[in-house]
Amino acid sequence: MKNKKFITLGFASVATSIALMFSSSLFAESSIKDAQASRLQALEKFTKVISIVQQYDVDDVTIEELIDKALDGMMKNLDAHSNYLTEKDYKRLKVQTEGEFGGLGITVGMKDGALTVISPIDGTPADKAGLKAGDIILKIDDKSTIGMTIDEAVSLMRGKVGEPIDLLIVREGELKPLSIHIVRDIIKIESVHAKVINDDILYIRVASFDKKVVEDVTKEINRRKASTKGIILDLRNNPGGLLDQAVGLVDSFVDSGVIVSQKGRRKVENKTYSAHASNTVTKVPLVVLVNGGSASASEIVSGALQDHKRAVLVGENTFGKGSVQVVLPITKTEAIKLTIARYYLPSGRTIQAVGVKPDVVVIPGELKTHKNEFAIKEADLKKHLQEELEKVDGKKETTKEDKKDKKDIITPEMLNKDIQLKEAVDIIKALVIMKG
């Protein structure tokens, strides 16, 4: 009897399992059919609208034009960086990434629906004309930027070398729009510049992340390694660039842990980039300068160094572009640019639309100093103990003529004209003292 009961229960259990599997299969099949039906309804609605527009619109529009407009509208509504590339747009993009062209030297992005200057590039026509990070471009020559895509704006601003262009901009603090006249030129960028402050602080300016940034920064650090007690890394108005260079730069200062992770809807887009002790170049105190023009790769660098407690960030909140775009061809001559993932810093926080907040907020400006013309010091006396100092220190007093001969030096006068850099120098000095 016990065996019969066991067998009965066993058959009941199997029957229940089969029933559940059958029910689950039916549910899955039903879900697939519902999804297919929904897709067909959506496509039917789409074709119906195209048919109605083609039949009743005041202008004679072809089916090809309507499809292009529909694709363009769909991509624009996904996010600020995704868009549909027509044959003309696709060619422009290839010129931008592969060819030489005349331009202004600015990086632009969409912020709250407005075409905004992320940053002017050092030494370019835009920089010399006075464009600033955060400027909103209202007009390009006589064309309004309202409803314009980034690629459309870029194509209008690019042109033949020597051709002039007028931008109408809105700037915070200005009561009315400003007209900026710029003459296009070949854009040549030197990404890395190095200077010395007070003989023992190395100042490194990275203007953008091109393919030689890590190599050039490493070279500058190694060249002055013996005398360097602290480093200031200036990423202000750096619009970004190559991800591998951003990762490599962080790896130069951090010896372990996650640098940045990339997460998308598809598992294949999920990637994690980590630091390696073998790539660490220096461990001296580090300060990073950022502002509203620091975007993308420069936000990854500053945010990762901040999360690792490796650097003190000084300046203003960064731009907030933490997404990954790829160009996917759909025909031989057309493509779409699509956002496929977001970047996340080592702590797990996102950059997108938030940016990186500095540890010490400093508004840009000039440090006002007042020299006391009536103050008399030992050095002003006719027979001060210069020779005695030479005996003690073993070196002569530095004269103005000596200073003029030195190149790549940031003087105290220069520091006073850049209060953010002045604050960075003061923090570096404190970190060097704390480190001993």
Cα gap 427→312, rounded to integer Å: 8
Give yes or no for residue 406 having a pLDDT over 70. Answer: no
Look-up of token digits 């009536």: 374
341's enclosing H/E stretch is strand 335-344
Question: Where do the domains of the chain lie, and which CATH numbers do they carry?
Answer: 95-186 (2.30.42.10), 192-361 (3.90.226.10)
Cα(133)–Cα(295) distance, integer angstroms = 11
Highest mean pLDDT among 119-128, 143-152, 340-349, 372-381: 340-349
Can you spell out the DSSP letters for 307-334?
HTT--EEEES------EEEEEEESSSS-
Query: Both ends of the chain: CA-CA distance in Å?
Result: 87
Annotated active-site residue 321? The verdict is yes
Per-residue pLDDT at 193: 92
Residues 331-346 as b/e (b if ≥16 CB within 10 A, e otherwise) read eeebbbbbbbbbbbbb
Catalytic, out of 82, 119, 208, 296: 296
Q: Which residues have CB under 8 Å from 357's CB, separation 6+? A: 313, 317
Lowest mean pLDDT among 67-76, 154-163, 352-361: 154-163
DSSP lists the bridge partners of residue 120 as 106
DSSP state, residue 176 = S
**DSSP string computed for 70-117:** HHHHHHHTT-TT-EEE-HHHHHHHHHHHHS--EE--EEEEEETTEEEE
Q: What share of the chain is helix, strand, coil (3-state, %, to 5)?
A: 40, 25, 35
pLDDT at 404: 42
pLDDT tens track for 177-191 = 999 999 999 887 778
**Confidence (pLDDT) at 175:** 92
Token readout for 251 is 């790896």
Residue among 122, 135, 234, 307 flagged as catalytic: 307
- Nearest to residue 351, comparing CAs of 314, 389, 317? 317
pLDDT tens readout for residues 47-59:
999 999 999 999 9
Q: Which residues contact 240 (CB under 8 A, 6 or more apart)?
A: 107, 208, 209, 246, 295, 296, 297, 298, 299, 321
Q: What is the pLDDT of residues 348-382, one digit of tens each?
A: 999 999 999 999 999 998 887 666 655 566 666 65
Q: Which of 132, 321, 337, 422 is catalytic?
A: 321
* CA dist., res. 293 & res. 239, Å (int): 6
Q: Beta-strand (E) ranges in 98-209? A: 102-103, 106-111, 114-120, 136-140, 143-144, 164-170, 178-183, 185-186, 192-197, 201-206
Model confidence at 26, pLDDT cuts 50, 70, 90, reads: low
| Mean per-residue pLDDT, 129-143 | 94
pLDDT surpasses 70 at 400: no
* 8 Å CB contact between 152 and 84: no
Find, among 158, 96, 149, the residue nearest to 124 by Cα: 158
Query: Considering the chain, what percentage of its residues have pLDDT values greater than 70?
Result: 83
Catalytic residue status for 296: yes
For the cut 90, the answer to whether the pLDDT of residue 149 exceeds it is: no
The whole-angstrom separation of Cα 71 and Cα 90 is: 15
Whether 307 is a known active-site residue: answer: yes
209, pLDDT greater than 50: yes
pLDDT, one tens digit per residue, over 289-338 is 999 999 999 999 999 999 999 999 999 999 999 998 888 999 999 999 99
As a whole number, mean pLDDT of residues 31-42 equals: 85
> What is the Cα–Cα distance from 285 to 306, expressed in whole angstroms?
13
